Amino acid sequence: MHEDLVELQVLGVRRQVPLDQVVVLLLDMAGGRVLPIVVGLTEGQAIAAGQAGVVPPRPMTHDLLASVLQSLGAVLERVEIVALIDGVFHAELVLGDGRRIDSRASDAIALAVRTSSPVLCERSVLEDSALDVQDAASDEDEEVEEFRAFLDTVNADDFVGTDEGDKGPSS
């Protein structure tokens, strides 16, 4: 493996509620960092379905691409996330014969989970974009503490409307 590449594990796909974004989370196990990549809803579903091993009755796009590669005798050796340009992650499919194919990161990841191919990331991209797992955990702990503090100060009457159809206090 090239020393400027770091192998990542696909943790899964999450939907961020406040911003209504779909994010695929990639874990750098050696460095203790998470690389979040915002993807479209359809791409997120494709990654999650591939991870779960869901086999549709008819092949979806990424299943089709995996079948085409296999029928041509081509092997997806690995996926590389090679750049972050204007907020967009760029990837390449690296075939067993060394050929490289430009790809959107979401499509590359969806194909990688279907072919059990490793996902690697340029170290510079990871250093610029990854979040430290400890920082993410402490932010989550802080949010939980804030919510607990809120619960300590609120009671059920705060959520009961006075008239039928009233949803409670307005902000």
Model pLDDT, residue 168: 44
C-alpha to C-alpha distance for 18 and 44, rounded to whole angstroms: 17
Taking only the tens place, the pLDDT of each residue in 152-168 is 665 444 444 444 444 44
Among 75, 158, 138, smallest CA distance to 111 is for: 75
Bridge partners of residue 106, in order along the sequence? none
112-131-14 Cα angle (round to 5): 55
Taking only the tens place, the pLDDT of each residue in 42-71 is 999 999 999 999 988 999 999 999 999 999
Provide the 3-class DSSP secondary structure of residue 157. Answer: helix
> Taking the model in full, what pTM does it have?
0.76
What are the angstrom distances between the C-alpha of 18 and each of 15, 21, 22, 41? 9, 8, 11, 15
- In 154-166, which positions are buried (b, 16+ CB within 10 angstroms) versus exposed (e)? eeeeeeeeeeeee
